[in-house]
Structure 1
Amino acid sequence: MIIDFKDLTPETFLAEYWQKKPLIIKGAFANFEDPIEANELAGLAMEDFIESRIISNINANWDVKHGPFDDFSSFGEKNWTLLVQATNHWSSGVNALIEPFKFIPNWRIDDVMVSFSTPGGGVGPHLDQYDVFIIQGEGKRRWQVGKPDSTLENLTPHEDLKQVSMFSAVIDEITEPGDLLYIPPNHPHDGVALDNSINYSVGFQAPSAQELISAFADYQLDNHLFEQRFDDSKRVVTETPEEMHEADFELLNSVMNSAFKNETVMQDFLGKYLTSVHHTLNLLVPVEPLSIELIKEILADGEELYPVLGLKCILVNQPKIKILFINGENYPVDTDTLELAKLLASKKPLTKDLLESSMDCLKNQQLLTKVINKGLWCFECN
């Protein structure tokens, strides 16, 4: 599955549109078939470990209900939308929708939210602070997208719903199956279903400075880092004790900056932070730990190893540091384990032939058995 960019290429898209302006590509996916049906999506919304909500707008009264849901009949036949977060964690077909966007690094991709809307259904005009690609599945939807506008009024028609006032649209189109809409951050948009409609939103994580600093503070506390006090041993007599002098400011500032300038610490923090999954994973931990001998036997029988759906991996492959991050944990990498680490980070199915050159190395055996016995890779495609 690839994107038909028409007159564009991935390179020109990034140069001209990415985080700059919205874009609609009609027929981006020819003969598109929905990887999940509405009733399957409803089934996921019945699970208490999957985040879902229904947003309705009846006679201009907005309402939000949070899952799990036992029944949908009370919502009627129009003016509501079911949204299921991280549907790609539970559907291999939905997870495959990420593949066409691999011209952007894996660490930027967050998850795929799927929505089912009845006629008139939508979530109202709003802003997102991240990039999103929206693939139109079944049905049709009218999309309006505007430019960033500081004059827009923030609205809260429901305590769980943030909207903005109506805006001037630069895109006003009806999307049909296989159409692709790209919306950059901070661009107001509104989508209203014209009939029963399914949309797939491939979202990208974009942590703010506030979120990163807050998470980094927690990381330091958890790991007992930078607990030493600042060095004030070169203090001289002051004639103005009521003032904070430039030298003192620089001293305290350097203490704080020393944490951010510690490359080893920052690599570890960012790798763990960016691979931490915010929604439940279907981890398949073996009942009994698998030995490398048993793993080799299963691979020899033609079985393949698959990463669990929604798993996040980052390989840091730099001259000074090599680390594999998986699901918020780090796995040291060296020359012997680099090729296996690349295979794991790619999240492609692993066969006996792919792994053959790695299996004679004890460190590779240990790495492979560890990720299998943690339930991160398994011999069944979930």
Structure 2
Amino acid sequence: MTSPNPNQPLDLLGGRTPAQFMKSHWQRKPLLIRQAIPGFKPPLGIADLKRMARRDDVASRLIWREDGQWQMEQGPFARLPKASEPDWTLLVQSVDLHHDAAAELMHRFRFVPDARLDDIMISIATDGGGVGPHFDSYDVFLLQAVGRREWRIGRQRDLSLQPDLPLKILRRFEPEATYVLEPGDMLYLPPQLAHDGIAQGDCMTISIGFRAPDQATLARGMLEAAAEQVLARAGQPSGPYGEPALPGPRLQGRYRDPSQAATAHPAELPDGLAAAALDAVGRVRFDEALAHRFLGCWLTEPGATAVFDTPAADGPDLAAEWPETGMLRLDRRTRLLYRGRQLFINGETAPVSASPALRRLADARRLACAEPAARTLTEEERECLTQWLDDGWLVYDPEA
């Protein structure tokens, strides 16, 4: 894998460059791309997905209609409906965490920042199966993998939902366009564009979804990060947002009230104490460094079902001797981001700065041991990479 080139035309985008797509369609309007991946072969078969749905470390859902009513059940599933039964759909979440080929497919969409990429969900359905007319709060690419699926889409102002259902089904869906997708075809939908996909015979659809945090989530995260920074600067135990401490004030002054008068209402909160609390909060630093710390740690947290493999016992000690050949690559579950000199991996701030070589590893998700950038790694950086190998976050392939 190489770093994406924003100006390279891609079949994946119908011959458009990523720069053109992001300017003309991203978060603006839908796009149908016939044969986005010509001759596409799915990373997993239908039988593979059914087996995944049996596992308790894989998130899955079964959706069907019974007597005209929508029904949903959470996995794992010891049994699934027969393939001959119509109108059911199996959804398997975060397949990229469990399968290398699925992760490689998701990485083809890295012309959008990694901070926005979420996961690959794969659905299999029998004839008539679907999840009903709905809208998503995030961008999504819908790639047809097996069989045919009809998509009806439309922009509508009325986003009210049918009550008392286990799914978010639109009350009044008014489609404006209809497309039938065959294997290799793909449909991009911006947020809140209503859509309804119905299987025409047995089919498989791959959804590449993106993160779109709301303001409440971002505000809460910033407050948590600020609180941990306050603790870290005061020399108290903190969480991942606090270590290491960023530059900022150490809030160690004690409350004093030499002008407090005797009170006839001892249960009443004093004005001075409330003012002191507000003054203390006003001294907390909310700046870009804090935002980068919060976002870097939060967005690199491994998925809830991510479990890293035990590394090989004979793995190299990169600090002691750098290999002449081979390739270092990030494990499919590893998330590595950077901003400025801060480097974030799997929910932590890395103990080393984001050097050019480590940025290259983050952008390309691999680093050839023989390339010049690798030769610039410091001893401290090599020790860090060795620790990542031991943690299963990084993999060394001597044959690559």
CA drift at 1:271: 0.7
- Aligned residue in 1 for 2:113: 105
Matched, 1:340 2:363: no
Q: Secondary structure at the match of 1:164?
A: coil
Matched, 1:158 2:183: no
Q: Report the identity percentage.
A: 29
Candidates 170, 173, 180, aligned match of 2:179: 173
- Aligned residue in 1 for 2:244: none
CA drift at 1:327: 1.0
Q: Secondary structure at the match of 1:272?
A: helix
CA drift at 1:229: 9.4
**d(CA) in 1 for partners of 2:298 and 2:146?**
35
- Aligned residue in 1 for 2:96: 88
CA drift at 1:200: 1.0
- Aligned residue in 2 for 1:244: none
Instruction: Give TM-score scaled by structure 1 length.
Output: 0.82
**d(CA) in 1 for partners of 2:276 and 2:35?**
59
Q: Report the CA distance shift for 1:271/1:258 in structure 2 as closer, same or farther (over 3 A).
A: farther
In the alignment, residue 180 of structure 1 is paired with which amino acid? Answer: M
**d(CA) in 1 for partners of 2:320 and 2:86?**
51
**d(CA) in 2 for partners of 1:221 and 1:78?**
53
Deviates more, 1:47-56 or 1:21-30: 21-30
Structure 1: segments with no counterpart, 5+ residues: 234-248
Q: Report the CA distance shift for 1:295/1:15 in structure 2 as closer, same or farther (over 3 A).
A: same
Matched, 1:41 2:58: no
Structure 2: segments with no counterpart, 5+ residues: 2-9, 235-250, 257-273
Correspondence 1:299-378 to 2 at 5 A: 299-300=323-324, 303-317=326-340, 322-334=341-353, 338-354=355-371, 357-358=374-375, 361-378=378-395
Q: Is the 8 A contact 1:132 1:203 kept in 2?
A: yes
**d(CA) in 2 for partners of 1:329 and 1:108?**
18
Q: Is the 8 A contact 1:52 1:66 kept in 2?
A: yes
Deviates more, 1:125-134 or 1:342-351: 342-351
- Aligned residue in 2 for 1:270: 295
Candidates 23, 31, 35, aligned match of 1:27: 35
CA drift at 1:253: 8.1
- Aligned residue in 1 for 2:213: 207
Candidates 137, 143, 146, aligned match of 1:138: 146
**d(CA) in 1 for partners of 2:313 and 2:284?**
41
- Aligned residue in 1 for 2:269: none
Aligned residues: 362
In the alignment, residue 311 of structure 1 is paired with which amino acid? Answer: T
CA drift at 1:131: 0.7
CA drift at 1:28: 1.6
- Aligned residue in 1 for 2:308: 283
- Aligned residue in 2 for 1:236: none
Matched, 1:53 2:61: yes
In the alignment, residue 48 of structure 1 is paired with which amino acid? Answer: D
**d(CA) in 2 for partners of 1:109 and 1:255?**
37
Correspondence 1:220-235 to 2 at 5 A: 220-223=226-229, 224=231, 228=251
In the alignment, residue 363 of structure 1 is paired with which amino acid? Answer: E
Q: Secondary structure at the match of 1:269?
A: helix
Candidates 188, 191, 194, aligned match of 2:200: 194
CA drift at 1:211: 0.9
- Aligned residue in 1 for 2:86: 78
CA drift at 1:256: 5.4
Q: Report the CA distance shift for 1:250/1:28 in structure 2 as closer, same or farther (over 3 A).
A: farther
**d(CA) in 2 for partners of 1:360 and 1:263?**
27
Q: Report the CA distance shift for 1:157/1:30 in structure 2 as closer, same or farther (over 3 A).
A: farther
1:23-52 deviations in whole A, cap 9, x for unaligned?
Answer: 211222211111110111111111101111
- Aligned residue in 1 for 2:266: none
Q: Secondary structure at the match of 1:292?
A: coil
Q: Secondary structure at the match of 2:55?
A: coil
CA drift at 1:73: 3.8
Candidates 258, 261, 265, aligned match of 2:286: 261
- Aligned residue in 1 for 2:222: 216
Q: Secondary structure at the match of 2:362?
A: helix
**d(CA) in 2 for partners of 1:104 and 1:166?**
32
**d(CA) in 2 for partners of 1:345 and 1:15?**
25
In the alignment, residue 292 of structure 1 is paired with which amino acid? Answer: D
CA drift at 1:214: 2.0
Deviates more, 1:22-31 or 1:260-269: 260-269
